[in-house]
Structure 1
Amino acid sequence: MAPSSTISSKGQITVPLEVRLRLGLRKGDRVEFVVDGDRTVIRPARLEVNPFDEFIGALPAFETREEVIEWVRSLRDDEPESASR
């Protein structure tokens, strides 16, 4: 039998433990209900703002893989590898 719950007089439901564990939900977490055709999906609420937006532009732009490798080497203070590869 699928997990189920009863709606209270205030329209509240208790999310069954099995579902909370599957979704990684804890006390105080928000959920959203997404209507998709004839079904409704409950999922953890997504943040309106991407938490990584503040890091856009923090690193230099690279055009080639070699530029990335050289930049990482400079951070590590590595000497360039021999051309024997």
Structure 2
Amino acid sequence: MAISTVSTKGQITLPAEMRRKLGVKPQDRIILEMEGDAILITKAHDFFELEGFLGPAKPPEEERDQMQRAVARHRAGGVDEKDIH
């Protein structure tokens, strides 16, 4: 447990030990959620960290080509279910 004071700007300081445990560095973003009368603080993951979860992004050209093919099929009346996702 740690105690932190709220500044006149509404800011608090996370103790170094908590920052280390969360893996929070300067300029990182955090998520604040109300849990009853408590605040839950979690590290907000960087967009690029999601690549490991979602898989690598396709090159823009490939995305554009796939979109153009889906639009052409839709206009022709043959939308494939996989194009909707």
Please give the TM-score of this superposition, normalised by the length of structure 1: 0.52
CA separation of 1:34 and 1:48: change in aligned 2, threshold 3 A? farther
Secondary structure of the structure 1 residue equivalent to 2:14: coil
Question: Which consecutive residues of structure 1, in runs of 5 or more, have no partner in the other structure?
Answer: 58-85
What's 1:45 paired with? Answer: 44
Q: Distance in 1 between matches of 2:17 and 2:43?
A: 15
For residues 34 and 18 of structure 1, the distance between their equivalents in structure 2, rounded to whole angstroms, comes to 20
Aligned residues between the structures = 56
Q: Which has the higher helix share?
A: 2
Higher Rg of the two aligned structures: 1
What is the deviation of 1:48? Answer: 6.3
Gap runs ≥5 in structure 2: 59-85
| Identity score, percent | 34
- Contact 1:3/1:18 (CA < 8 Å) preserved in 2? no
Q: Deviations over 1:1-57 (max 9, x none)?
A: x11210000001111011101101111101110123343200111456843445379
In structure 1, what is the Cα distance between the partners aligned to 2:14 and 2:46?
A: 21
**Please, what is the CA RMSD of the aligned residues?**
2.5
The residue matched to 1:22 in structure 2 has which SS? helix
What is the letter of the counterpart of residue 10 of structure 1? K
Which residue is equivalent to 2:4? Answer: 5
